[in-house]
Amino acid sequence: MGESLPLQEGEKPIAWHWKQWLTTWDKISIWRKTPIIVVGKAWLVVTNQRILQVEGRFIHPFEVRSWKDDSFNQNGSRTLSGCQVTAAYSLEDISSVHETHGKNVAGALVGTLHIQMKSADSLSISANPGVLSLVPIINEAMVKRKSLLQRQQAKNVVIDFSWVKEYLNKGGIVLTTIKCPQCGASIDLPKEGSTTKCGYCRASIHAQDVLERFTGLIKS
């Protein structure tokens, strides 16, 4: 984009695509049949933390006689005065993203990006069809963001047998006994502590190992 964005700590842009031109109508120019004034550009930006709607204003707005006018395309690279985030959606607050295709009232192809939030709110962002290429990138960024937050959360908790039991219960697994990884003997799950020993072979059993063994079975 060539312009700096007000990003959060640790936030990095992954991909972006220009969404639409920012225009206004100049009543004074209507008699000259050039009523459209292009004042800037809008983008959809995907970062490792959020989806951003960004606007940048041209230093010198310019008139456009027609959307097909060559001068319009050439002037599309004019210098921007800066970019500002007009809307932001945290990846961890989004449940799903998908796209649809259609045409606007002028018959031009447009794409619509549909964002379903976990709060049950939904957003529909209309833009040029190229923006829809961001959908798989957004979905991948959501998966990575979820994984990162889970790892950060794990660092902030003390993983003992009590925590493991509660965590697995929330995932639909009721665990009361475990098998010794050394001899296969059945052992009652301790109520506390991070390490226990098999009563038969005296092998050490760690709460972290039990968690990792059952995590893959948790209901998504």
Buried/exposed code over 154-175 (b: 16+ C-beta within 10 A; e: otherwise)? eeeeebbbbebbebbeeeeeee
- Yes or no: domain 13-154 corresponds to CATH 3.40.50: no
User: Distance from CA of residue 211 to its chain's centroid?
Assistant: 28
* Residue range 121-157, pLDDT digits in tens: 888 888 878 888 899 999 999 999 988 888 787 776 7
pLDDT average, residue stretch 62-87: 62
* Residue range 190-214, pLDDT digits in tens: 988 999 999 999 999 999 888 888 8
Compute, in degrees rounded to 10, the torsion defined by CA atoms 142, 46, 104, 36: 160
User: Distance from CA of residue 159 to its chain's centroid?
Assistant: 29
* CATH 2.30.29 residue window(s) in the chain: 13-154
Tell me, yes or no, if the pTM score tops 0.85.
Answer: no
Radius of gyration (C-alpha) of the chain in whole angstroms: 27
Q: How confident is the model at residue 2 (pLDDT cuts 50, 70, 90)?
A: very low
* Residue range 168-182, pLDDT digits in tens: 888 788 889 999 989
